[in-house]
Each structure stands twice: as structure tokens, then as C-alpha cells.
DNA sequence: CAATGTACTTACCAACTGGTAAGGAGTCAA
DNA sequence: TTGACTCCTTACCAGTTGGTAAGTACATTG
């Protein structure tokens, strides 16, 4: 409970930036959300961009942590690849603000602070590709094509993690919840089927 | 070539909005991009939001067009579902600005003008789900779970359509191009494997 | 030629943007 | 009790935001 004002700023900013994007949120609005003035924010972080950078860095660290752990504990490539994606999915779904922010970084294509998020994503993708190339069914596929395969897994995970508001509006809360409850299992199924050797040539 | 100023405004705005988001682009900037003042823009559209709405509407119409056509021409559910996703993928990849804008709409969760994009997406998803439920391997799966399955396909497609800048920066233009060249084929493979009846219980 | 309409301009506005400067209130150590 | 430090404030700034008002330049039409 001993969250410092500084940490609260980061948390509040993460939520607002996820909601409206970097340009959509003013530092005054972030301050107001906490009952403070924007100068309190500037006192702690110096500038809006630096605050944004810290938000991104915190998210990156979180998302990177699980990867290393799985790599070390799961030697079998199929299991490792599956678990790498599913763990990432769980993280993104459990922190939708983080998921949306990363997605925005993917879109923004500006030089701003997105280096932080990209470092994480690059490391993560690199690991996925390497693992994919160790899967028997994918061994002779080549790096670029392996990237295509794992990117589909990641897309299926990340896209859903970002879609709750829209899907809820479209299909209602109950249907969304049911879909969400099945999503991880279905994602596992999708991956498993793709990693299995091709069926006999009909 | 007889593009009116109005159409040019929509095209320019689409590109800039895709790049920086609604709040990241000023109407003055859109005008300047065309060598005009922002009042020229206001003359044609009345307000920034209305322009944004028109951009979204145009994209929605484009993306909706292919769907109906495929539904009518492809009776087999597996083929139809596959083609619905692949056609959407092709469209999104061939118009990355549109893809990025739709993705932003997915994130924004504001009431602004995103109704336009959501109408398209809802119709499209509804069609996907219906088709999925007609696939033998998915028949007894339930609506919500079918939504989960097709959403994975869409995620795999849309996510990649949005990622060129980032992937290029990370892996270089050559690797990206190679991955892109394989992506549609791999996406088809992913879908096919998921729609086939489950393998014999190991 | 006058009238009307379209496509644009300059001039202006209040509100807000991120950021600087300076100071107040509290704590803590010498 | 004095000085220094942290955390926050009010006051202020120049630049930008979306938008209004009013006019200019130019066709089209009567």
C-alpha cells in the first residue's frame, strides 16, 4: 500500500495513455486524475515524454520477465513455444492497459520512446523464432517464414487482449466472457495443430 | 485523376490519422500537407470529427464490399471461412493505412466516430461466426467459442497488416519482405489445420 | 451585367498545450 | 534556529488547438 506518488503517476498515466494515446492525454489531465496539478507531475518526471518512457519501460520489464523463465524451464521446443505464447497471452489479457499501450506503440511508428517497447518485443520475437526453428515440423522452414508463423500466434493473442471494449459492445458482456473463457484453450489448440507434422498428403 | 479537393482531403487525412492518431494530427497539419489552410478543410467538412467520420466510413465500405461477394460465391463453409479471412488479410495488407486506422478504433473505446468502423467489423465478425458454425469440425462448439476461433484468424491477419514499420525496423527490410511473401500462405495453412476434424486421439 | 454559389483566404478567438520560474509548507539534520 | 531538501503550489509563458466571422477570387447562371 506504500505506493509512492511517483508510482501512482506511472499507474495513472499508463491507464490514460492506453485509453487515449500519447497525444490524447494532457499532463494536466493526468495530474487532475490524482487530485494534483500538472506541475507535481513535472516535478517528478521532468517532461511528458520521460513519464511516457517510464510507463513503457515498466511494461517492458514485466513482459520480459516471464519469457526467460519459460526458456529455462521448458526444453521441449513445442512445449516451449506453446507456453511462450500462452504465457504472453495471459499477461496481456490480465493487463489490458499494457496490451493496448504496446499495440499503440506498434502503430505509432514514431521515434518517440517506443524503443523501450520494441526492445522487449524484439527479444521476445527472436526467442519465438529460434524456438520455432527447433520444432521438427518447422525445422526446414527458414527464419523469415518461421517469423510469419509465430507472428500469427502472437497476433491471435495480442489482438484479443486488446478487444474487450469492442467485443463487449458488439456481442454483449456474457458472450464476450464466454469467448474469453475459451480463448486460451482455443489458442493452445491453434498452436498445437500448427506445430504438429503435416497430415499424410491426402 | 479527377480527384476533387474533398477526396484529397479524405485521403490525406486517412494517412495522417493512421500515422499519428486522431489527437496526433491537427486540422492545420492536414491542410498544410495539401498546401492549403485549415479553413479549406473546415469549409468542406465542418469539423475535424466529421472529416474523421468520413475517412472511417470510406474504409468501412471498402472492407465490407468483399465480404458479401465471397459469401455469395463460396457455398462450402471451410472454403468460405478461409477465403473470408484471406481476402480480408489481402485488403488490410494492401491498405496499411486503413488497417492501422481500424486498429486504432479497436483501441480507442471512445464514442467518437468509431461506430462506422464497428458496424463493418460487427457485420464481418457475425458472418465469420455463422460460417464457422457451419464447418463440420466446429459445428457443436457454440457461438461464443466460434467467435474465439475466428477472432484468432482475424487477429493473425490484422496484427501483421499493421506491423510493417516495426518488423522492418527489427528484422530488416529483406527479412520482412520474405515473411510477408509467405504470410498469406501460412495464414491459409493455419486456418486449414484448425478447420480440419481433430486427429485421432493420439 | 447582376446575382448566386463555390472554394478558398486572412483575421481573430477562447481554451488548452507542455514547460519555466519562483515560492510555500513540511521534514530532517547540524 | 538555521539551512537544505522534497513535494507541491500559483503565476506565467509562448505556441497550438479547433472553430467562427468576414471577406476575396472566380465560375456559373439569370
Provide the Cα torsion A37, B22, A53, A27; round to 10°. -10
pLDDT of the residue at A119: 83
pLDDT of the residue at B128: 98
pLDDT of the residue at A195: 97
pLDDT of the residue at A113: 59
CB count, 10 Å around CB of A42?
15
- The mean pLDDT of B134-153, rounded to a whole number, is 96
Task: Chain B: give the shortest CA distance to residue A1, in Å.
Answer: 30
The rounded distance, in Å, linking the Cα atoms of B88 and B195 is 18
- Protein-covered nucleotides of chain D (CB closer than 7 Å) are 7-11, 16-22
pLDDT of the residue at B118: 81
Hey, are the CB atoms on B107 and A108 less than 8 Å from each other? no
A1 pLDDT more than 50? no
A45 pLDDT more than 50? yes
Q: Is A130 in contact with A143 (CB distance < 8 Å)? A: no
| Banded pLDDT at B2 (limits 50, 70, 90) | low
Return the percentage of chain A with pLDDT > 70, whole number.
95
Q: Best of A107, A117, A120, A132 to disrupt the B interface by mutation (most B CBs within 10 Å)?
A: A107
Q: Which residue has the higher pLDDT, B180 or B198?
A: B180
B202 pLDDT more than 60? no
Classify residue B24 by its DSSP letter: T
| Banded pLDDT at B49 (limits 50, 70, 90) | very high
B1 pLDDT more than 50? no
Q: Which element (helix H / strand E) includes B138?
A: none
Nearest residue: Cα versus C1' of D19: B47
Q: Which residue has the higher pLDDT, A114 or B195?
A: B195
| Banded pLDDT at B115 (limits 50, 70, 90) | confident
pLDDT digits (tens, 9 = 90+) for A54-113: 999 999 999 999 999 999 999 999 999 999 999 999 999 999 999 999 999 999 877 665
Hey, are the CB atoms on A110 and B20 less than 8 Å from each other? yes
| Banded pLDDT at A48 (limits 50, 70, 90) | very high
If you count residue pairs, one on A and one on B, with CB atoms under 8 Å apart, how many are there? 170
Question: In Å, what is the CA distance from B35 to each residue of B32, B38, B39, B55?
Answer: 5, 10, 12, 20
Query: If you average pLDDT over every residue of chain B, what do you get?
Result: 93
Q: Best of B98, B179, B196 to disrupt the A interface by mutation (most A CBs within 10 Å)?
A: B179
- The mean pLDDT of B57-80, rounded to a whole number, is 94
Least Cα distance to B60 among B101, B107, B89 occurs for B101
Task: Chain B: give the shortest CA distance to residue A94, in Å.
Answer: 16
Q: Is B190 in contact with B130 (CB distance < 8 Å)? A: no
pLDDT of the residue at B164: 95
pLDDT of the residue at A116: 76
pLDDT of the residue at B48: 97
Residue of B nearest to A147 (CA): B179
Q: At what angle do helices B48-73 and B96-108 cross, to 10 degrees?
A: 110
B111 pLDDT more than 70? no
pLDDT of the residue at B75: 95
Distance CA A37 to C1' C22 in A: 16
- The mean pLDDT of A174-195, rounded to a whole number, is 98
CA angle B103, B127, B164 (to 5 degrees): 25
The rounded distance, in Å, linking the Cα atoms of A7 and A51 is 11
Hey, are the CB atoms on A193 and B189 less than 8 Å from each other? no
The dihedral region occupied by A109, where left means phi > 0, alpha psi between -120 and 50, and beta the remainder, is left
A202 pLDDT more than 70? no
CA angle B116, B52, B13 (to 5 degrees): 130
- The mean pLDDT of B78-97, rounded to a whole number, is 98
Residue of B nearest to A101 (CA): B107
Q: Quick check: helix, strand or coil at residue A4?
A: coil
| Banded pLDDT at B188 (limits 50, 70, 90) | very high
Chain B positions in Cβ-Cβ contact with residue A186 (cut-off 8 Å): 145, 148-149, 152
A44 pLDDT more than 50? yes
- The mean pLDDT of A175-196, rounded to a whole number, is 97
The rounded distance, in Å, linking the Cα atoms of B71 and B53 is 27
The rounded distance, in Å, linking the Cα atoms of A144 and A141 is 8
Q: Which residue has the higher pLDDT, A78 or A201?
A: A78
- The mean pLDDT of A166-194, rounded to a whole number, is 97
Chain B positions in Cβ-Cβ contact with residue A195 (cut-off 8 Å): none
Smallest CA–C1' separation from B41, nucleotide: C8
A24 pLDDT more than 50? yes
Task: Chain B: give the shortest CA distance to residue A8, in Å.
Answer: 23
pLDDT of the residue at A2: 53
Q: What are phi and psi of B114, to 5 degrees?
A: -65, 0
- Protein-covered nucleotides of chain C (CB closer than 7 Å) are 7-11, 16-22
pTM (two decimals): 0.93
Amino acid at each position: 500500500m506504500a505506493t509512492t506518488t511517483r508510482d501512482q503517476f506511472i499507474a495513472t498515466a499508463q491507464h490514460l495513455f492506453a485509453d487515449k494515446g500519447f497525444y490524447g492525454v494532457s499532463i494536466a489531465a493526468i495530474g487532475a486524475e490524482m487530485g494534483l496539478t500538472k506541475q507535481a507531475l513535472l516535478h517528478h518526471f521532468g517532461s511528458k515524454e520521460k513519464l511516457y518512457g517510464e510507463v513503457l519501460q515498466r511494461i517492458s520489464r514485466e513482459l520480459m520477465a516471464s519469457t526467460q523463465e519459460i526458456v529455462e524451464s521448458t526444453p521441449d521446443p513445442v512445449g516451449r513455444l506453446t507456453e511462450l505464447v500462452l504465457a504472453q497471452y495471459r499477461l496481456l489479457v490480465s493487463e489490458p492497459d499494457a496490451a493496448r499501450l504496446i499495440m499503440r506503440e506498434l502503430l505509432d511508428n514514431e521515434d518517440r520512446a517506443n524503443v523501450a517497447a520494441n526492445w522487449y518485443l524484439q527479444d521476445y520475437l527472436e526467442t519465438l523464432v529460434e524456438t520455432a526453428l527447433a520444432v521438427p515440423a518447422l525445422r526446414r522452414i527458414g527464419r523469415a517464414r518461421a517469423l510469419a508463423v509465430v507472428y500469427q500466434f502472437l497476433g491471435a493473442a495480442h489482438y484479443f487482449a486488446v478487444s474487450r471494449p469492442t467485443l463487449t459492445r458488439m456481442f454483449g458482456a456474457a458472450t464476450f466472457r464466454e469467448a474469453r473463457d475459451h480463448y486460451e484453450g482455443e489458442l493452445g489448440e491453434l498452436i498445437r495443430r500448427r506445430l504438429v507434422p503435416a497430415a499424410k498428403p491426402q
